[in-house]
Structure 1
Amino acid sequence: MINLYLKAKHWQLFILMLGIPLAYQLYTIAQFFGLQTHPNSISEGGAGVTEVLNENIFYFDYFPYVMVLYVIMFFGWFWSIAIGLQKNIPSEIKMKVKKFKVLFFIPLIYITSIMLLMAGLFSGIRTNSFSLIGWPLYIIILLHLFSMFCIFYSMYFVAKTIKTAELKRKVEFGDFTGEFFLLWFYFIGVWIIQPKVNKLYSDENTATNNSQML
């Protein structure tokens, strides 16, 4: 799986990470506005908006699952770069891979859990059986803030890995500031970051093959 991400072209990742969720959202919006003009959208008895939504907009139920798929693909890209490019880094340079792995999975689990809870909420609304979990608000806020910190650390580590693999030396934040912000604004950055990743992956494979032939 890591090699698939490292070999993937920028346009392929763009479609996977943004194209599919965007297409789903556009489809949902089109269906929603389509109800406004559909002759059967409101029953003769004057069914309310809630009944109409429950009967027709079943595709809202799938939104959390689409988001889970998006999150897995997005985090998979980070993981593949951070772990897959470690072989490009000189052995004398030690990176905190274990720390990255721990902090990487925290937001992944948190976001996935939130999306699955949302899926249950949507399902409960349709059956009029939903109830809110009585967690204290401050716990949710703390979990959210800590997850944000973990995501930023993951971007920091991935950007540092790319630049270290490129320069073959220890780097400071100033060396990979550009990569960090490109990962932050990934919908633009993927077009610049991924070609670098492709080259690093190709160079390492070429070097490995040459060493095996000697």
Structure 2
Amino acid sequence: MVEKILKAKHWQIFILMIGIPLVFQIFMMLTMFSDLDTDSNPDHKKIIGIFQFFPVIMILYISVFFSWFWSIGIGLQNKVPASIKMKIKKFKIFFFIPLIYITLLSIGMGISFSGYSFSNNFFPNNLGLMLPLIILPLHLFSMFCMFYMLYFCSKTIKTVELQKEVSFGEFIGEFFSLWFYPIGIWFIQPKINKLAKKIEEIQDIGKNDNI
């Protein structure tokens, strides 16, 4: 899977990451507005119920999004010079924290929109005040983790490209390309394709030498 993502064309990643979820979202919005236009007394529960499919869109999106970053951060490591130590364990920890957080948050929102509710005795009465205190720190920390993902992946790309230790100033272009990925993907993915091709060529040479 990692190799396929590294070799994928920019338009393929764009369609999977942005195109399909966007079409799905547009379809949901059109369905909702059509109900509002055709019915003088629209069923608000039905309209809200449409949003129970929100987790489907989000999970589809984050699956491609995080798979892309994982492929960059982990898939290119075998081309990083042996003298350079990348903090792979730290990357993996910071990778899974926002992934789990966003997944659970999306599922929770879907459950809320579907009309599911807990009994009054399940949570304390001040749950409404507690939720922001719980979610806000998690949200901020997840944002920090994602910025570290941007940093690590952009550094990995430039390290593999230059085959030397790099400073932030040298990979700032890759950093912003990954940050603003709807545009940056058209520039960064071709570079990833070239690096992946070099890795494959080196592996083929190694196999031939062993024969």
Structure 1 length as normaliser, TM-score? 0.88
Q: Percent identity?
A: 51
Query: Conserved in 1, the CA contact under 8 Å of 2:25 and 2:57?
Result: no
Inter-partner Cα distance in structure 2 for 1:67 and 1:130: 24
User: CA RMSD for the aligned pairs?
Assistant: 1.8
Q: 1:166 aligns with which of 139, 146, 161?
A: 161
Partners of 2:168 and 2:34 in 1: CA distance: 50
Note the C-alpha offset of 1:53. 3.2
Matched with 1:4 is 4
- Pair 1:136–1:26, CA change in 2 (3 A): closer
The within-5 A match list for 1:146-161 is 146-161=141-156
Structure 1 gaps, min length 5: none
Please identify runs of 4+ aligned residues in structure 1 that moved more than 6 A.
130-133
* Cα distance, 1:187 vs structure 2: 0.1
Q: Which residue of 2 aligns with 1:79?
A: 70
Letter in 1 for 2:183: I
- The within-5 A match list for 1:109-188 is 109-124=100-115, 129=117, 134=127, 135-188=130-183
Displacement after TM superposition at 1:138 (Å): 2.3
Structure 1 pair 136–58 and aligned structure 2 pair: CA distance change class (3 A): closer
Tell which deviates more after alignment, 135-144 or 23-32. Answer: 135-144
Q: Is this contact kept in 1: 2:9–2:189, CA < 8 A?
A: yes
Contact 1:121 1:130 in 2 (8 A): no
Tell me how far 1:57 sits from its aligned partner: 6.2
Letter matched to residue 33 of structure 1: F
2:186 to 184, 191, 197: 191
Distance 1:131 1:20, change over 3 A: farther
Q: Which residue of 2 aligns with 1:202?
A: 197
1: CA distance, partners of 2:135 / 2:119: 17
Count, aligned residues:
202
